[in-house]
Structure 1
Amino acid sequence: MAESQSEFASLIDRYAKADGVHATPIPRVFLVRSARPTLPLHTLYEPAVCIIAQGRKQAILGDAVYVYDRDKYLVISVDVPVVGQIIDASEAAPYLCLRLDLDVATLGTLLLDAGPAPSGLAPAPALSLSSVTPELIGAVLRLLRLLDTPGDIPVLAPLAEREILFRLLRGDQTAKLREIALGDSKLRQINRAIGLIKENYRETFRIEDLSDVARMSASALHSHFKSVTAMSPLQFQKQLRLQEARRLMLQGLCDAATASHSVGYTSPSQFSREYRRLFGLPPQRDIARLKTFPDGFIAA
């Protein structure tokens, strides 16, 4: 296991030379590197599995704190706003992580032979941790070694990805992965509501519209939505708005007033209050602070 972990870190180090999130020629596979701890980052996590080769990170969803390292991997089941922070990294031993975005179609084909799943179960929180196994690391290595032979990627990468997902399904993530893949699960119903909010986050929505999309009652939607995301639909929308406004200002695309209007706020004072409540500082001071810590923006 120690030898495999060493090779895992070496492969990421070879193909992710600079700090940041790096796409690879392998579909849905990203490599992450940071040579120092980062600021807490409010960001939107998408369905994925994150496996660390070196270093340590924490993700906060509501009141729950998920700390993961090379012994624990993180699974994300739906798009959800979280606070992420790399807490163990250095120039000598940088944070190194592989992120594999989850493909629903691939998961679905693997589940066809797995037999019927229990129905009607309440969805679990969007984030969960599991122990890394030698079999999982072996599958990850077979995937990453393909970066040395790009011509093999189209044929062999799908096989290695399926093996990784198979290893996850053989562990204690079976129920969560079933929820992600199966169209009639409560999680997929909540995910449809999340999709509607994401597509129309600038607009005011009615809870009835979300209920219709999710195909559940308003009370069930509220209950299951909070179980998964640790927030209400309105709080979810607010975080999306404020994160997008922050991104626009940080990139220098507009000032606070323009950013607030562009994400759907009609009151600049309300925007400023809610921005400070989420990020801890008024917009102008927050952006000035962030520009002095560019490495804080490493999302995976």
Structure 2
Amino acid sequence: MNHKILEEVNKLVKENSLTRTNIKAVNLYKTTTFLPRTPLTYDFCLVFVLQGKKIGYLPNKRFEYDYKNYLVVPAALPFECETYASKEEPYTCILININRDIMHEIISCISKEESKNCKSVQMAIFQDKVTQDLENSIYRLLKILQSKEESAILGDSILREIYYRIAIGENSHFLHKMFLENKMESKMTRTLKIIHNKYNEHLDIPTLAKEEDMSVSSFHTHFKKVTSLSPLQYIKKIRLNKAKDLLTRNNLQVNETAYATGYESSSQFSKDFKSYYGYPPKEAKASFEIV
């Protein structure tokens, strides 16, 4: 990212702060503090790092995103992340939530035969290079964000332009395949949405597989290819991420949080929470570290 972009974003965001903007789908984040490997969850979003960098970790994948490479998460995906930041070089980023309907419309207008013909199952997270066209779009987005009037009038069009730049990226195969009804990525995306929405209910793996007309073994294999997690691991991590939100934002008690996130045992919940976050649920604190 060039210096002009940093100048514009610094007019909008303060240090160590998550900043809501005049466009609901766009948030800005800046921190001068190094943050060690920490669990988090993204859901259908773009992350543009303007300064500093992050390293993300999945069980069989490590990925780095910085000013040269943006991150696309087409489905809710829990992973762990390390943030590199300092006073001299703060970690600064733009988080954009993607509108599924608009992205679907854009992809439907794009001829991308290589995505349709790609046989291998793609993973539900990918990086792509920041092009000059995309830099230009981001610069104009930051200029628009400085005015409520311009945000209201031009916001949708600039987001649509950014979605398009993402959809024609070199690595956007998953994004295209997730909107093709009979593709495995599409089936897995629907399953992830069900789990994300019904995490507090009893989720039966054979039933989830049957919903997509798949055998349990095939479902398990393809689920892990897309998420790098088994279905049960994914469900547990989604529940624990939701639990942290309930504990810190809704001020629920530990036993209330356990049952609200689908756990039948409060003690098992506390054990899993401590194993995942490194501290017991009663010590959970609110954090802006979501981007």
TM range (shorter): 0.7 to 0.9
Show the counterpart of 2:67. Answer: 70
Question: 2-side partners of 1:90 and 1:203: how far apart?
Answer: 42
Residue number in structure 2 paired with 1:14: 11
2:21 matched residue in structure 1: 24
Partner of 2:103: 107
Q: In 2, are the aligned partners of 1:20 and 1:298 still within 8 Å (CA)? A: no
The AA in structure 2 aligned to 1:10 is E
Are 2:77 and 1:85 aligned? no
Relative to 1, partners in 2 of residues 1:183 and 1:101: Cα closer, same or farther, differing over 3 Å?
farther
Structure 2 residue identity aligned to 1:152 = E
Residue 116 of structure 1: how far off its partner (Å): 6.0
1:168 aligned residue? 166
Are 1:120 and 1:185, in contact at CA under 8 Å, matched by a contact in 2? no
State the structure with bigger RCO (CA 8 A, min sep 6), 1 or 2: 1
Residues 78, 126 of structure 1: 8 Å contact kept: yes
Shift, 1:252, TM fit: 7.4
Residue 198 of structure 2 is matched in structure 1 by 200
Shift of 1:281: 3.8
Cα distance change of structure 1 residues 106 and 184 upon mapping to structure 2, 3 Å threshold: farther
Is the alpha carbon distance of 1:217 and 1:173 closer, same or farther for their aligned partners in structure 2, counting shifts above 3 Å?
A: same
How far apart are the structure 1 equivalents of 2:276 and 2:131? 37
Residue identity (%): 25
TM superposition score normalised by structure 2: 0.88
Which amino acid letter does the alignment assign opposite residue 196 of structure 1?
A: I
Q: Aligned equivalents of 1:147 and 1:297: distance in 2?
A: 21
After TM superposition, the structure 1 stretch with the greater mean CA deviation from structure 2, 134-143 or 18-27, is 18-27
- Give the aligned partner of residue 91 of structure 2: 95
Contact 2:75-2:193 within 8 A present in 1 as well: no
Report SS of the residue matched to 1:298.
Answer: coil
Question: Displacement, 1:52?
Answer: 0.9
1:119–1:185 Cα contact (<8 Å) kept? no
| Whole-Å separation in 1 of the counterparts to 2:121 and 2:153 | 35
User: More displaced, 250-259 or 215-224?
Assistant: 250-259
Runs of 4+ residues deviating >4 angstroms: none
Residues 186 and 252 of structure 1: is their aligned pair in 2 closer, same or farther, counting only changes over 3 Å?
Answer: closer
Which sections of structure 1, spanning at least 5 residues, go unmatched? none
Cα offset, 1:18, TM superposition: 4.3
Quote the Cα distance in structure 1 between the aligned partners of 2:263 and 2:102: 39
Answer whether contact 2:122 2:173 (CA < 8 A) is retained.
no
Residue in 1 that maps onto 2:209: 211
Please, which runs of 5 or more residues in structure 2 have no aligned partner? none
Computed over aligned residues only, the root mean square deviation of the Cα atoms, in angstroms, reads 2.4
Q: For each residue in 1:102-122, what CA deviation from the matched residue of structure 2 results, as whole angstroms up to 9, or x when unmatched? A: 222222222233236415744
SS at match of 1:40: strand
List per-residue Cα deviations over 1:218-261 (Å, max 9, x = no partner).
Answer: 22221111111111221111112222333333457234333323
TM-score normalized by the length of structure 1:
0.86
Query: Is the 2:13–2:28 contact (alpha carbons within 8 Å) kept by the matching residues of 1?
Result: yes
Q: Which residue of 2 aligns with 1:59?
A: 56
